[in-house]
Amino acid sequence: MLILPNYTLATSPGAFSASQLAFVSVLSVLLYGSFVFAQMVRQRGDFIEDLTSGAEHEEHVPEGGKVTANVLLLFVGLAGIVLLTEQVAGSIEDGLAALQITQADAIVGFFVASLVLMPEALSAVRAALNNELQRGLNVALGSACATIGLTIPAIGAASLLTGRSLTLGLGPGDTVLLILALAISIVSFGTGRTTMLTGLVHLVVFVAYLFLIFVP
């Protein structure tokens, strides 16, 4: 969905037409819903560290009131992050404009994404440091799927309602890094085992992506 817009013919390269954008948004929601269903119901055992802890977890199901409170607190925290992000983004834009930085939009986007994803990133790192590999993968997969599966429909709906154009297609450099990251992920997670070396390769690709944001 981030490469396909560069090759569609209905509009300019990098963008979807209204019907294409609506179609892609629906597919994104369905794919994310399928992932949540598999993680929580159909293939729940694949996302649990060991079956014993999973059985214990099933015995202690949270009460309805606690679930409601957690959902409300989640939305309150999300609103706080969005408001904080808006304030930080404005300050960063002003600072970059004063320094006459050419890649201001990309840098602001990087800082905004970093701020929004910071809670999940810290949780994944903490789980990895505690040798809780499955939990770290769950957090990373959930965050990545939500970022793609929910962000695209949200910005797609905003684009259709406001009539503003939306460019989803990645540039050539970002496309190469995305394909490389996916290929490395197949090697890392498809074989059933991984090593520190494969983790370092992932970090190298990530650092290269960050470097190219500031020095394209």
The reply to whether 205 falls in a domain is: yes
Mean pLDDT, residues 30-58: 67
Mean pLDDT, residues 162-190: 83
Number of domains into which the chain is organized: 1
Going by pLDDT thresholds of 50, 70 and 90, the confidence category of residue 57 is very low
The reply to whether 15 falls in a domain is: no
Going by pLDDT thresholds of 50, 70 and 90, the confidence category of residue 174 is confident
The reply to whether 53 falls in a domain is: no
The reply to whether 42 falls in a domain is: no
- pLDDT 10s digits, 68-122: 776 677 677 666 666 666 666 667 777 777 777 777 677 777 777 777 777 777 8
Buried b vs exposed e over 153-173: b needs ≥16 C-beta within 10 Å?
A: beebeebeeeeeebebbbeee
The reply to whether 126 falls in a domain is: no
The reply to whether 180 falls in a domain is: yes
The reply to whether 175 falls in a domain is: yes
**pTM of model > 0.75:** no
- pLDDT 10s digits, 147-171: 777 778 888 888 888 877 778 888 8
Expressed as residue numbers, the domain containing 205 is: 170-216
The secondary structure of 113-164 as a DSSP string is HHHHHHHHHHHHHHHHHTT-HHHHHHHHHHHHHHHHHHHHHHHHHHHHHHT-
- pLDDT 10s digits, 4-33: 888 888 888 888 888 888 888 888 888 888
